[in-house]
Chain A
Amino acid sequence: MSEPGRKILVSLRVNGSDIECAIVPSKTLLEVLREDLGLTGTKHGCELGHCGACTVLIDGQPTLACLTLTLECEGREIRTIEGLAGDGELHPLQQAFVETGAAQCGYCTGGILMTASALLERKADPSDQEIRSALAGNLCRCTGYVKIIDAVALAARRMNGAA
């Protein structure tokens, strides 16, 4: 057994790139993303699984990075907010968040966008209630969720070619 605190090598696939890095095995995915990979777009509001700020996608599933051990992520597809936009184009959700004013302080925004993007993958045309339920684990202290919900609905309509 390796000493605690002693770094080991892991291979991760983050936002489509293969990355090899040496990490302390006890580190959470949140810590590795932010501290070892410099991907600070993933935020923390509690590090206890209560707020949703750290949500990333693992194999397409919204996952709390603060509760995920990095070692569990080997061989899986990790996507963070930095990987949401493609080819210099904002994701329709990002575009809708910009236009509706859904990001106030912006601290919850990354986690909410990742959660919402998984929702729209699963359900192209979610109802208001489905949007609210999907986001029920993401705390936002600024917006009252109103413009966030509007933005998700707007992005869904656009992705369906309806707007």
Chain B
Amino acid sequence: MDDLRRVSTATNPDSEAYGFTPDRPVTTIAIPAPPTRPEKPEGLSVVGKSLPKVDAYVKVTGSLKYADDIVLARTVFGRMVRSPHAHARIERVNVERARALPGVVAVVTGDEIPVLYGHLPSSPDETALAIDKVRYVGEPVVAVIAEDELTAEEALELVEVEYEPLDSVMSIEDGLRDDLNKIHEDSRKRANIHKEVHLEFGPVAEGFAGADRIFEDEYFFDGNTHAPLEQHSVLANCELDGKITIWSSTQNPHYLHRVMASVLGMPASRLRIVACPVGGGFGAKTDVFNHEVVAAYASRKLGRPVKFTLTREEVFYAHRGRHPVLMKLRTGVLRDGTITAVKLDTWLDGGAFSSYGVASTYYTGALLPVTYKIPAFTFNGVRVFTNKPPCGPKRGHGTPQPRFAFECQLDKIADELGLDAAEYRRRIAVEPYSTTANQLRITSCGLDQCIEAVNTRGGYSAKHGKLPYGKGIGIAASAYITGAGMPIYRNAMPHSGAIVKVDRSGGVTVFCGVSDCGQGSTHMLATVVAEALGVDIMDVQVFMADTDLTPVDLGSYSSRVTFMAGNAARYAAESVREKLAAVAGPKLGIPPERCGFARRRVFDRDDPGHGLPLLEVFQLAEAHYGTLAGVGSYTPPEGIKGDFKGAGVGPSPAYTYSACVAEVDVDAETGEVRVERIVLAHDCGRALNPAVVEGQIEGSVYMALGEILMERSEYRGDLHKYPNLLEYKTLMSVDMPVIETIIIETDDIEGPYGAKEVGQGALLPVIPAVANAVADAVGVRINANPLTPWAVLKALEEKRTASKAGHASGAASREGAELP
């Protein structure tokens, strides 16, 4: 691109404002020039309209087929024997009685599928079924497959497994202690450490030395889980020619394809993965799961379709949910609040396996500098293995925890320096087209507008500190990636591909490997293609997430779908459009570039009344060129990533921004926190469909409120305290506050029609905004979530005791939390 300006942080005046210059060479990062509006010259006719989703009809009629809705003749059903121990050696497995039960067709044990796998190629440590030892309660040990589920269930009881229990490791503190059992005995790391990260950017020591005030606090963010309403399900069918098709409730068919081929030791071309419409993902279905591998293996063994559907309890054990993270945050500021340096230490409780853990560890630090100007930043992250179900990516992956800590501390800083927390945040907000201390490239950025919008609508500055005791208002802001800039395995190929085919019927079909977990990928593809070709959105058929039919897309994770698959689909449609214009132009007597496409017509942009029906143009083009199809690919641009080890996590082709104002009512007698109103502004670049964007924001607010008020993965000894939807508290319709959403459009120059992400980023500011509102309401800062009545009462009690003893009100920290 020749319109790139070269900007380097070394010449960024901000980094010299404190009388020091960066002490290490900083990579020069290519920043694109500020945008012109990235749209069609003839104007938009589909994008920006709240049209009904193309897949809404099959959803409201109950006809959409999710994985567990698919049945094939002769299907057999699997169940898994799971470990009752958090940590134990498997001494003996006897499956003979189970095998002998009439109706049982196969029993599978760990040694039959010994290949290690893991979502990240760098840390494979799982097997389909446990071999030698078990590492969490609920880990699958033996699989039983029978003619019907009832028989399989009965056979589970007949499997005999003898265990030699080992000491369990159930907390971060235990995981760091050397004297305990190693969960992964072959690990060369100390104690139960899985991953350690140390990064430093900019002049940290000078930054702290030059600060007027240094704030240091400890925070703890407890783990919770996605609890998608659909329980994971898979159906695998090995045909007699040996080809296996796997229908699964997966968000990531491509990665599943790769892992499955290696675990089963067969060419990927003989395996077909179909990601069914997912009944809620939020990250829960991004990993490769035991039941998926076992189903495929057993189907190959039996030559029959094999189905596994997890029970709700098993979904809690499959987990891959939010990491509990312990955080130490140190921030240096000048008298006016300007940040001079930040030091963040995080300890992640990873559960029993690696999963996405290396990325999760980096993510607890990587995005911190993307929100506010932080000239110097140091980050140390440690992930430990514990004997709990593995943690992984949940909406916001690794970033809600430090965002909670940072926004709560920022609120405290504003308080102590006597600053208006909204205006303060605006003053230190990152600028569009700038580079962060950790070498991330920021392009479009609506952070300032977001904060201003929620402050204006929510009345934060007017109300904060002025509401009666028990009522409070809080604010917070955040940033998130629009797709991971690097693939999970190193390669130079596109991150997303699409094919668009049109034909004489007037119909348009788009093929793209991306999956839909409810966030609206199907509708997004239809929108982008309908816009480019000028057809009605219902003219577009969408085929997704089928490794035989659709070009590769890396999956529904990291909020990458709209940006990456959307661009791929747009390019594919535009390449077809060029051919259509090439035949329509001469027919209309105008240069092809002047052809406009909208409302099923091709017309002269300078004289819109002069045009042709699109159907006629399709037919002319098919006659002229033969079969009409276009392909498109998306690869993130070069130069969005720094040059240090670990630079692969954090870069994204664009970042989204959010701000939130929360109003709460706290009952100081009972400790109950009721959120009364949420105002949330989100910079999504451009809303391709405003109703869908609002829906994503509302869902993010809902999930965030669960995390700050009640949701928690808690253990009693080695056992999950409540692996069910009754006691795992979530918000129901009666608990929801008023949510006001504000969409901020910044027209990202690289996004499809200017769009960025919305599915995850909007969750981030809600959690600290509520915590800050509680602090405003009752005058205590609670540095741990969730803010249950007990936590609030305890904090109030501590405050009373402290003020009796003559101390200033202290921060309530997690019970027994001792920082290593």
State the CA gap A90–B57 with chains docked (Å).
9
In angstroms, how far is the closest chain B Cβ from the Cβ of A28? 12
State the CA gap A44–B64 with chains docked (Å).
14
**Which of B53, B150, B280, B726 is A5 in contact with, Cβ under 8 Å?**
B150
State the CA gap A44–B695 with chains docked (Å).
23
Q: Is B240 an interface residue (CB 8 A)?
A: no
User: Across the interface, do B62 and A82 meet the contact criterion of CB distance under 8 Å?
Assistant: yes
**Which of A109, A133, A138, A147 is B60 in contact with, Cβ under 8 Å?**
A109
User: Across the interface, do A105 and B62 meet the contact criterion of CB distance under 8 Å?
Assistant: no
Residue of A nearest to B230 (CB): A107
User: Across the interface, do B279 and A107 meet the contact criterion of CB distance under 8 Å?
Assistant: yes
Q: 0/1 per residue, A122-137, Cβ < 8 Å to B? A: 0000000001110111
User: Across the interface, do B518 and A142 meet the contact criterion of CB distance under 8 Å?
Assistant: yes
Using Cβ atoms and an 8 Å threshold, which residues of chain A touch B226? 141
User: Across the interface, do A105 and B725 meet the contact criterion of CB distance under 8 Å?
Assistant: no
Q: 0/1 per residue, A67-100, Cβ < 8 Å to B? A: 0000000000000111011000010001001111
Q: 0/1 per residue, B710-740, Cβ < 8 Å to A? A: 0000000000000011100010111010010
State the CA gap A111–B231 with chains docked (Å).
15
Given A41-B61, A51-B725, A104 and B150 contact (CB-CB distance below 8 Å)? no
Interface residues in A, total, Cβ within 8 A: 58
Given A24-B150, A99-B52, A142-B280, A147 and B695 contact (CB-CB distance below 8 Å)? yes
User: Across the interface, do B230 and A43 meet the contact criterion of CB distance under 8 Å?
Assistant: yes
Using Cβ atoms and an 8 Å threshold, which residues of chain A touch B699? 104, 141-144
State the CA gap A106–B471 with chains docked (Å).
36
Using Cβ atoms and an 8 Å threshold, which residues of chain A touch B229? 43, 45, 51, 53, 105, 107-108, 139-142
User: Across the interface, do A82 and B61 meet the contact criterion of CB distance under 8 Å?
Assistant: yes
Using Cβ atoms and an 8 Å threshold, which residues of chain B touch A131? 733
**Which of B55, B62, B739 is A144 in contact with, Cβ under 8 Å?**
B739
**Which of B61, B63, B311, B702 is A143 in contact with, Cβ under 8 Å?**
B702
Residue of B nearest to A135 (CB): B733
User: Across the interface, do B726 and A50 meet the contact criterion of CB distance under 8 Å?
Assistant: yes
Residue of A nearest to B50 (CB): A101
Using Cβ atoms and an 8 Å threshold, which residues of chain A touch B150? 5, 24, 26
Q: 0/1 per residue, B219-255, Cβ < 8 Å to A? A: 0000000111111000000000000000000000000
State the CA gap A86–B231 with chains docked (Å).
30
Residue of A nearest to B519 (CB): A104
In angstroms, how far is the closest chain A Cβ from the Cβ of B241? 28
Given A104-B520, A142-B518, A45 and B60 contact (CB-CB distance below 8 Å)? no
In angstroms, how far is the closest chain B Cβ from the Cβ of A98? 4
Using Cβ atoms and an 8 Å threshold, which residues of chain B touch A94? 60-61
Using Cβ atoms and an 8 Å threshold, which residues of chain B touch A133? 733-734
Q: 0/1 per residue, A15-54, Cβ < 8 Å to B? A: 0000000001010000000110011111111111011010
State the CA gap A40–B62 with chains docked (Å).
7
Using Cβ atoms and an 8 Å threshold, which residues of chain A touch B519? 104
Given A104-B699, A109-B59, A146-B698, A48 and B312 contact (CB-CB distance below 8 Å)? yes
User: Across the interface, do B280 and A105 meet the contact criterion of CB distance under 8 Å?
Assistant: yes
Q: Is B743 an interface residue (CB 8 A)?
A: no
Q: 0/1 per residue, B650-682, Cβ < 8 Å to A? A: 000000000000000000000000000000000
In angstroms, how far is the closest chain A Cβ from the Cβ of B75? 10
Using Cβ atoms and an 8 Å threshold, which residues of chain B touch A107? 66, 228-230, 279-280, 518
User: Across the interface, do B64 and A47 meet the contact criterion of CB distance under 8 Å?
Assistant: no
Using Cβ atoms and an 8 Å threshold, which residues of chain A touch B65? 40
Interface residues in B, total, Cβ within 8 A: 56
Residue of A nearest to B55 (CB): A106
User: Across the interface, do A148 and B56 meet the contact criterion of CB distance under 8 Å?
Assistant: no
Looking at chain B's contact residues, the main secondary structure is: loop
Given A105-B277, A142-B280, A148-B733, A47 and B311 contact (CB-CB distance below 8 Å)? yes
Q: Is A149 an interface residue (CB 8 A)?
A: yes
Residue of A nearest to B53 (CB): A101
**Which of B53, B703, B733 is A149 in contact with, Cβ under 8 Å?**
B733
User: Across the interface, do A110 and B62 meet the contact criterion of CB distance under 8 Å?
Assistant: yes
User: Across the interface, do A132 and B733 meet the contact criterion of CB distance under 8 Å?
Assistant: yes
Residue of A nearest to B738 (CB): A146
Q: Is B701 an interface residue (CB 8 A)?
A: yes
Residue of B nearest to A109 (CB): B59
In angstroms, how far is the closest chain A Cβ from the Cβ of B70? 8
State the CA gap A138–B150 with chains docked (Å).
27
**Which of A41, A100, A145 is B733 in contact with, Cβ under 8 Å?**
A145
State the CA gap A5–B59 with chains docked (Å).
34
Given A43-B279, A103-B59, A133-B734, A50 and B725 contact (CB-CB distance below 8 Å)? yes
State the CA gap A45–B232 with chains docked (Å).
10
User: Across the interface, do A48 and B724 meet the contact criterion of CB distance under 8 Å?
Assistant: yes
Q: Is A113 an interface residue (CB 8 A)?
A: yes
State the CA gap A108–B518 with chains docked (Å).
11
Residue of B nearest to A96 (CB): B60
Using Cβ atoms and an 8 Å threshold, which residues of chain B touch A34? 69
Kindly name the residue among A39, A131, A139, A145 whose own CB sees the greatest number of chain B CB atoms within 10 A.
A145
Using Cβ atoms and an 8 Å threshold, which residues of chain A touch B701? 144
State the CA gap A144–B150 with chains docked (Å).
36
State the CA gap A113–B63 with chains docked (Å).
14
Using Cβ atoms and an 8 Å threshold, which residues of chain A touch B312? 45-48, 50-51
Chain B interface residues toward A at CB < 8 A? 50, 52-53, 55-66, 68-69, 71, 150, 226-231, 277-282, 311-312, 517-520, 691-692, 694-695, 698-703, 724-726, 730, 732-734, 736, 739
Q: Which 6 A-B pairs have the closest CB atoms?
A: A41-B62, A105-B518, A106-B59, A107-B279, A144-B702, A81-B62
Can you list 28 A-B pairs, Cβ within 8 angstroms, ordered by A?
Answer: A24-B150, A38-B71, A41-B62, A41-B63, A43-B279, A50-B726, A51-B725, A53-B229, A84-B61, A90-B61, A97-B56, A98-B53, A101-B50, A103-B60, A105-B230, A105-B517, A106-B64, A106-B277, A106-B279, A107-B66, A136-B732, A136-B734, A137-B732, A140-B229, A141-B703, A142-B695, A144-B700, A145-B736
Chain A interface residues toward B at CB < 8 A? 5, 24, 26, 34-35, 38-48, 50-51, 53, 80-82, 84-85, 90, 94, 97-101, 103-110, 113, 131-133, 135-149
14 new A-B contacts at CB < 8 Å, known A90-B60, A107-B280: A43-B66, A45-B312, A48-B725, A48-B726, A82-B62, A98-B56, A99-B52, A103-B56, A105-B278, A141-B228, A144-B700, A145-B732, A145-B733, A148-B733
